């Protein structure tokens, strides 16, 4: 039987701490009387009207959406995007993430599933992320950073400076004018920063019919504009703008312990002979939708699988076409495999210079890659886990040998 070690290769991310921060982002860097408006928990019945009103007043906001609502309001998200606003990720089920992790919830599922619903409404390749309730921990960051799909091209968690007290006012049937006054008091006290309000109420269905955030927006924003406050989008904040422009690099380590690299600086062939700090082993990833990605080598060229059966996978394409597109198949525990446009899977020809190839037809022959950041130690597989995987492998073999 093939050694279990042969099933696993490892994605090593370079500078992954730039993806999810260990702590919430707070943006005290904003100039005086500069505000960034954000809305949480939608989309809902008031989201489009809020977005339209803000657009009429030349205010761009970020709408951090919950996946289970985004699924039912795709038309609303399209309209919000058309009005110039930003769509962000606020998880699929709106859980308390540190607690969710403590009971073995799959954190990356909360991000990835929502991404699938909102990607087409996002300009650029980066997704802003906000944790529900602002609850966050270094352990949550580590787990999300350890998964290629939940980590790459995400920025967060984006926190706030002015609290979202609106939903509590609606819950307690407090007056609209009191909510306006409280926001004004908090804004005047802070002078600048990120404001959060709620275009929908994610967790309290009894409060949903009481939601008056549209009316709150219509009263509050004109007052702030008249007082000389300036509104900017998240993507206009300098530190986040710089982070959005950065391209995360990673290295791909194969089962032979070596890294995929350009054979040399002046060729396009890819081999698996690199070492950890080899600059020719740097790779970046572009999400092109529908579960497909493009991989770019250190020479700035995309991986091309068209010659994979004879000359190996090459890094020789300037543009993303069918043969530069790879299906990224996500497995548990940060493991992935890549399938090419021909249906073949990425593999390594260890008998022929360790070239990167795409010559295997069956998933069981493909290399399996796992993803971890450079600042995190790759955890060794426990004996219990190895026995569990061995049992699964034996059951797979049994399924092939014993007819149904």
Q: Are residues 346 and 236 both part of a single domain?
A: no
Whether 258 is covered by a domain: the verdict is: yes
The reply to whether 190 and 80 lie within a common domain is yes
Mark whether 24 and 10 lie in a shared domain: no
Placement of tokens 């290399």 in the chain: 367
404 falls within a domain: no
The Cα 335–Cα 8 span in angstroms is 8
Closest among 150, 146, 156 to 373, alpha carbons compared = 146
Residue 225 to residue 232: CA distance in whole angstroms: 12
Residues linked to residue 249 through DSSP beta bridges, in sequence order: 14
CA gyration radius, the chain = 24
Distance CA 42, CA 199 (A): 6
Last residue of a domain, one of 197, 220, 244: 244
User: Are residues 11 and 24 part of one domain?
Assistant: no
CA distance 182 to 180: 5
Tell me which of 225, 244, 263 is where a domain ends: 244
Cβ burial of 152 (10 Å; 0-12, 13-18, 19+) is buried
Residue ranges making up the domain that contains 106: 20-244
Helix count and strand count (H, E) for the chain: 12, 21
Q: Does residue 171 sit in the same domain as residue 276?
A: no
Q: What is the pTM of this model?
A: 0.83
| CATH code, domain carrying 48 | 3.20.20.370
Number of domains in the chain: 2
Tens of pLDDT along 40-71? 999 999 999 999 999 999 999 999 999 999 99
Answer yes or no: do 295 and 208 share one domain.
Answer: no
Q: Mark whether 121 and 235 lie in a shared domain.
A: yes
pLDDT by residue, tens only, the chain of 404 residues: 334 333 333 333 333 345 788 877 765 678 999 999 999 999 999 999 999 999 999 999 999 999 999 999 999 999 999 999 999 999 999 999 999 999 999 999 999 999 999 999 998 888 999 999 999 999 999 889 888 888 888 999 999 999 999 999 999 999 999 999 999 999 999 999 999 999 999 989 999 999 999 999 999 999 999 999 999 999 999 888 877 777 788 888 888 888 889 998 888 999 999 887 889 999 988 888 778 899 999 999 999 998 777 778 999 999 999 999 999 988 866 678 999 999 999 999 988 889 999 999 999 999 887 764 433 334 455 566 556 566 656 665 656 567 65
Domain-embedded: residue 402: no
């Amino acid at each position: 039987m093939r050694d279990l070690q042969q099933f696993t290769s490892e994605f090593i991310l370079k500078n992954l701490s730039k993806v999810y921060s260990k702590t919430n982002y707070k943006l005290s860097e904003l100039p005086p009387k500069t505000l960034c408006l954000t809305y949480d928990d939608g989309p809902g019945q008031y989201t489009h009207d809020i977005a339209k009103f803000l657009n009429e007043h030349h205010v761009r906001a970020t709408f951090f959406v919950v996946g289970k609502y985004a699924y039912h309001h795709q038309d609303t998200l399209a309209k919000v995007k058309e009005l110039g606003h930003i769509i962000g990720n606020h998880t699929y089920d709106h859980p308390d993430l540190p607690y969710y992790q403590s009971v073995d919830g799959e954190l990356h599922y909360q991000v990835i599933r929502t991404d699938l619903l909102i990607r087409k409404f996002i300009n650029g390749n980066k997704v802003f992320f906000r944790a529900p309730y602002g609850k966050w921990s270094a352990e949550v960051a580590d787990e999300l950073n350890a998964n290629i799909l939940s980590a790459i091209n995400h920025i967060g968690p984006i926190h706030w400076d002015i609290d979202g007290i609106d939903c509590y006012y609606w819950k307690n049937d407090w007056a609209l004018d009191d909510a306006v006054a409280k926001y004004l008091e908090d804004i005047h006290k802070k002078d600048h920063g990120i404001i959060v309000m709620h275009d929908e109420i994610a967790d309290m269905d009894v409060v949903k019919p009481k939601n008056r955030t549209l009316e709150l927006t219509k009263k509050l924003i004109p007052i702030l504009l008249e007082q000389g406050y300036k509104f900017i989008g998240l993507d206009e904040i300098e530190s986040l703008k710089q982070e959005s422009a950065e391209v995360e690099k990673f290295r791909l380590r194969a089962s032979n312990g070596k890294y995929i690299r350009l054979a040399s600086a002046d060729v396009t062939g890819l081999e698996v002979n690199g070492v950890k700090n080899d600059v020719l082993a740097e790779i970046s990833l572009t999400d092109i939708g529908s579960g497909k990605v493009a991989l770019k080598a250190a020479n700035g060229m995309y991986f091309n699988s068209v010659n994979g059966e004879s000359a190996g996978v090459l890094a020789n394409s300037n543009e993303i076409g069918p043969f530069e597109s790879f299906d990224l198949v996500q497995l548990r525990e940060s493991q992935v495999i890549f399938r090419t446009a021909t249906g073949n899977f990425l593999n390594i020809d260890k008998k022929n210079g360790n070239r990167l190839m795409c010559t295997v037809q069956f998933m069981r022959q493909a290399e399996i890659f796992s993803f971890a950041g450079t600042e995190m130690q790759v955890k060794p597989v426990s004996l219990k886990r190895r026995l569990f995987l061995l049992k699964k492998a034996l059951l797979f073999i049994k399924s092939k040998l014993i007819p149904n």
